[in-house]
Amino acid sequence: QSALTQPASVSGSPGQSITISCTGTSSDVGGYNYVSWYQQHPGKAPKLMIYDVSNRPSGVSNRFSGSKSGNTASLTISGLQTEDEADYYCSSYTSSSTDVFGTGTKVTVL
Protein backbone atom coordinates (compact mmCIF):
# COMPACT_ATOMS: atom_id res chain seq x y z
CA GLN A 1 0.00 0.00 0.00
CA SER A 2 1.28 3.46 -0.85
CA ALA A 3 1.45 6.31 1.62
CA LEU A 4 -1.19 8.98 1.25
CA THR A 5 0.15 12.16 -0.35
CA GLN A 6 0.47 15.34 1.71
CA PRO A 7 2.32 18.58 0.93
CA ALA A 8 5.73 18.60 2.59
CA SER A 9 5.17 21.99 4.16
CA VAL A 10 2.49 24.63 4.71
CA SER A 11 2.97 27.98 6.37
CA GLY A 12 0.84 30.86 7.54
CA SER A 13 0.86 33.92 9.75
CA PRO A 14 -0.78 34.01 13.18
CA GLY A 15 -4.53 34.40 12.84
CA GLN A 16 -4.66 33.10 9.29
CA SER A 17 -6.23 29.86 8.13
CA ILE A 18 -4.32 27.07 6.42
CA THR A 19 -5.43 23.82 4.81
CA ILE A 20 -3.48 20.58 4.51
CA SER A 21 -4.52 18.09 1.86
CA CYS A 22 -4.29 14.31 2.00
CA THR A 23 -4.74 12.48 -1.29
CA GLY A 24 -5.33 8.78 -1.61
CA THR A 25 -7.40 6.48 -3.78
CA SER A 26 -10.87 4.99 -3.93
CA SER A 27 -9.47 2.06 -1.92
CA ASP A 28 -8.70 4.20 1.10
CA VAL A 29 -9.61 7.88 1.50
CA GLY A 30 -12.31 7.83 -1.15
CA GLY A 31 -13.86 4.57 -0.07
CA TYR A 32 -14.45 5.14 3.64
CA ASN A 33 -15.25 7.94 6.05
CA TYR A 34 -12.39 6.72 8.22
CA VAL A 35 -9.81 9.48 7.79
CA SER A 36 -8.04 10.75 10.89
CA TRP A 37 -5.49 13.50 11.51
CA TYR A 38 -2.60 13.67 13.99
CA GLN A 39 -0.46 16.51 15.33
CA GLN A 40 3.10 15.73 16.36
CA HIS A 41 5.37 18.18 18.14
CA PRO A 42 9.13 17.44 18.16
CA GLY A 43 10.04 14.63 20.52
CA LYS A 44 6.40 13.89 21.33
CA ALA A 45 3.97 11.14 20.41
CA PRO A 46 1.30 12.01 17.83
CA LYS A 47 -2.01 13.37 19.10
CA LEU A 48 -5.39 12.64 17.52
CA MET A 49 -6.97 15.86 16.22
CA ILE A 50 -9.74 14.65 13.89
CA TYR A 51 -11.36 11.25 13.37
CA ASP A 52 -13.90 9.88 10.90
CA VAL A 53 -13.16 12.77 8.50
CA SER A 54 -14.61 15.61 10.52
CA ASN A 55 -15.11 14.69 14.17
CA ARG A 56 -13.09 16.35 16.92
CA PRO A 57 -12.16 14.41 20.06
CA SER A 58 -13.00 16.02 23.36
CA GLY A 59 -10.44 18.66 24.25
CA VAL A 60 -9.32 19.49 20.71
CA SER A 61 -9.78 23.12 19.75
CA ASN A 62 -12.63 23.92 17.35
CA ARG A 63 -10.05 25.80 15.27
CA PHE A 64 -9.28 22.39 13.77
CA SER A 65 -11.74 21.00 11.23
CA GLY A 66 -11.72 18.20 8.69
CA SER A 67 -13.48 17.46 5.42
CA LYS A 68 -13.32 15.17 2.43
CA SER A 69 -14.08 15.35 -1.27
CA GLY A 70 -13.57 12.29 -3.42
CA ASN A 71 -10.13 10.81 -2.79
CA THR A 72 -8.80 13.90 -0.98
CA ALA A 73 -9.26 14.75 2.68
CA SER A 74 -8.35 18.10 4.18
CA LEU A 75 -7.46 19.51 7.58
CA THR A 76 -8.07 23.20 8.13
CA ILE A 77 -6.55 25.16 10.99
CA SER A 78 -8.23 28.50 11.50
CA GLY A 79 -6.92 31.34 13.65
CA LEU A 80 -3.40 29.93 13.37
CA GLN A 81 -1.43 30.08 16.63
CA THR A 82 2.25 29.58 17.37
CA GLU A 83 1.51 26.35 19.23
CA ASP A 84 0.05 24.90 16.03
CA GLU A 85 3.56 24.69 14.59
CA ALA A 86 4.11 20.94 14.30
CA ASP A 87 4.05 18.00 11.91
CA TYR A 88 0.63 16.76 10.80
CA TYR A 89 -0.23 13.32 9.47
CA CYS A 90 -3.41 11.94 7.97
CA SER A 91 -4.39 8.29 8.13
CA SER A 92 -7.04 6.21 6.39
CA TYR A 93 -8.56 2.78 6.73
CA THR A 94 -8.18 0.76 3.54
CA SER A 95 -10.09 -1.85 1.57
CA SER A 96 -7.56 -4.46 2.76
CA SER A 97 -8.62 -3.84 6.37
CA THR A 98 -5.30 -2.14 7.02
CA ASP A 99 -4.35 1.45 7.72
CA VAL A 100 -2.08 3.82 5.86
CA PHE A 101 -0.55 7.13 6.93
CA GLY A 102 0.15 10.20 4.89
CA THR A 103 3.64 11.45 4.09
CA GLY A 104 3.37 14.22 6.68
CA THR A 105 3.21 18.01 6.52
CA LYS A 106 5.33 20.45 8.46
CA VAL A 107 3.29 23.49 9.50
CA THR A 108 5.26 26.66 10.10
CA VAL A 109 3.80 29.73 11.77
CA LEU A 110 5.52 32.75 10.30
Tell me whether residue 13 or residue 43 sits nearer to another protein (CB atom). 43
Q: Which stretch binds another protein (CB under 8 A): 10-18, 19-27, 65-73, 99-107?
A: 99-107
Stretch of residues binding another protein (CB under 8 A), selected from 10-18, 46-54, 61-69, 73-81: 46-54
For residues 75 and 56, is the Cβ–Cβ distance under 8 A?
no
Phi, psi (rounded to 5 degrees) for 100: -140, 140
Which region, judged by CB under 8 A, interacts with another protein, from 17-25, 61-69, 70-78, 101-109?
101-109
Q: Is 1 in the site for another protein (CB under 8 A)?
A: yes
Pick from 20, 39, 93, 107: which binds another protein (CB under 8 A)?
93
Pairwise CA distance, residues 62 & 5, whole Å? 25
Q: Strand (E) positions, 2-110?
A: 9-12, 18-23, 35-40, 47-50, 64-69, 72-77, 86-93, 99-101, 105-109
Say whether residue 70 binds another protein (CB under 8 A).
no
